Copies of this chain bind each other. A is one copy, B any other.
Amino acid sequence: MTVRLSAPERRQQILDVALEVFGRSGYHGASMNDVAEAAGVTKPVLYQHFDSKRHLYEELIDDVGNRLLGAIAKATADAPDGKAQTERGYQAYFRWVAQDHDEFVLLFGGSMRRDDEFRDTLRRITDDAATAIAPLIAVDVDPEVQRVFAHALIGIAESASRHLVERGEQFDPDEVAHRIAGLAWAGLRSLG
């Protein structure tokens, strides 16, 4: 027997559950039935709250992406210099990863890159991050090259996180962030 929930509660519960299901199996690997079952409910209920599988997924990644970008923006806002900005930015990123592996997997697990529409969303996120990072790079470098570097620095965080998440164990985000920021900052300084 299913517990009856109010519409907003049910909607939020579906989002919570869907995050985990899609994180585990990916967009194509998880069916709407899977999501419904995990929510302890049947399929039509999902369609009372979301127009389609795509819409449900999009709402998820928008939420998660904004949470990530917001955390980084907030953390770096009042940093005194580039070095502190680098450190705090990575710190916010790795804390976000460590706090909820599902969110990381949802965004960077791969499903996002395999679909034109979702790819655009993910690109918007990484481009936003790259735009924030680019000013840290020596100003006399060609802007196009700056962007390549910026994406490289984002890739550092993504790959290190993937490695850590795949290992399954917990990790100390601040320690990782400190080490990675040291590597990135040294790399950046070498360009000047």
Q: A residues near B, CB below 8 A?
A: 25-29, 109-115, 123, 130, 145, 147-149, 151-160, 162-164, 166, 176, 179-180, 182-191
Q: Is the CB of A163 within 8 A of B176?
A: no
Residue from A113, A158, A164, A189 with most neighbouring chain B CB atoms (10 Å): A113
What is the total number of copies of this protein in its complex?
2
Q: Are A147 and B163 in contact (CB under 8 A)?
A: yes
Which residues of chain B come closer than 8 Å to A179, judged between CB atoms?
A: 145, 148-149
> What chain B residues lie within 8 Å of A180 (beta carbons)?
148, 152
Which one of B112, B114, B155, B188 contacts A158 once the chains associate, using CB atoms below 8 Å? B155
- Chain B residues with Cβ below 8 Å from A151 are 159-160, 162-163
Chain B residues positioned under 8 Å from A159 (CB to CB)? 151-152, 154-156, 158-159
Query: A157, A164, A184, A186 — which one has the most chain B CB atoms within 10 A of its CB?
Result: A186
Which among B155, B186, B190 is the interface contact of A155 at CB below 8 angstroms? B155
